[in-house]
């Protein structure tokens, strides 16, 4: 896994061993960032279920103002710290080692995010829990872009009930990216 573009372009990132995380492939990451690149400059980015931090680091490398990484796994936290030091992007980042919902509560009233990315474990409905929380949260605004990486068969028909609208969906072989915003 590597940084694709920006100030840390071509730098190889560490990943943790085992199946606890699934790093987003370079091809899928490149497609995602080509889609959101116009939103990145000076954006405040939230990387939930961060794994090794590859998505948040790519955002920082491409011009995001700052990034908060949220990850519960201790080995993954060490990997994020190493990757941020290696890419020299740690000064624009914050790492929270906690359960995602607890971390979101800790962030209330302290920051508002322009982009929220989440790549939760597939098929456990963690994304639904996060969206339910965000429905009433002040860490996002009406223009916040929410991006969810999920398995290809994950159902998002409920998002309207939570006051979100699906803007688009990009499908790959086994997974997809879903782009949401709050309903106006």
24-43: pLDDT as tens digits: 777 888 889 999 999 999 99
> What's the pLDDT tens digit per position in 107-122?
998 999 999 999 999 8
Compute the CA torsion angle 151, 157, 160, 162 (nearest 10 deg): -60
What are 147's two structure tokens? 């991006």
Output the pLDDT for position 101.
97
Residue 164's DSSP bridge partners are 182
What is the assigned CATH class of domain 36-182? alpha beta
pLDDT above 60 (res 46): yes
Output the pLDDT for position 19.
47
What are 123's two structure tokens? 């098929």
pLDDT above 60 (res 106): yes
pLDDT above 50 (res 90): yes
Q: What percent of the chain has pLDDT over 70?
A: 93
Q: What are the structural domain ranges in the chain?
A: 36-182
């Amino acid at each position: 896994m590597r940084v694709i573009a920006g100030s840390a372009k071509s730098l190889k990132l560490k990943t943790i061993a085992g199946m606890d995380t699934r790093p987003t492939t370079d091809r899928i990451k490149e497609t995602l960032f080509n889609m959101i690149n116009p939103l990145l400059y000076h954006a405040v980015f939230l990387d939930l279920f961060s794994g090794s931090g590859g998505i948040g680091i790519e955002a920082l490398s491409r011009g995001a103002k700052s990034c908060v990484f949220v990850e519960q796994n201790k080995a993954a936290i060490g990997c994020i710290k190493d990757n941020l030091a290696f890419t020299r992007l740690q000064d624009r980042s914050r790492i929270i080692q906690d359960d995602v919902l607890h971390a979101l509560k800790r962030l209330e009233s302290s920051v508002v995010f322009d982009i929220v990315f989440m790549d939760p474990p597939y098929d456990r409905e963690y994304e639904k829990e996060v969206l339910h929380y965000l429905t009433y949260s002040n860490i996002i605004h009406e223009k916040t872009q929410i991006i969810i990486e999920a398995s290809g068969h994950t159902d998002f028909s409920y998002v309207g009930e939570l006051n979100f609208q699906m803007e688009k969906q990009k499908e790959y072989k086994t997974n997809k990216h879903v782009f949401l915003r709050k309903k106006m």
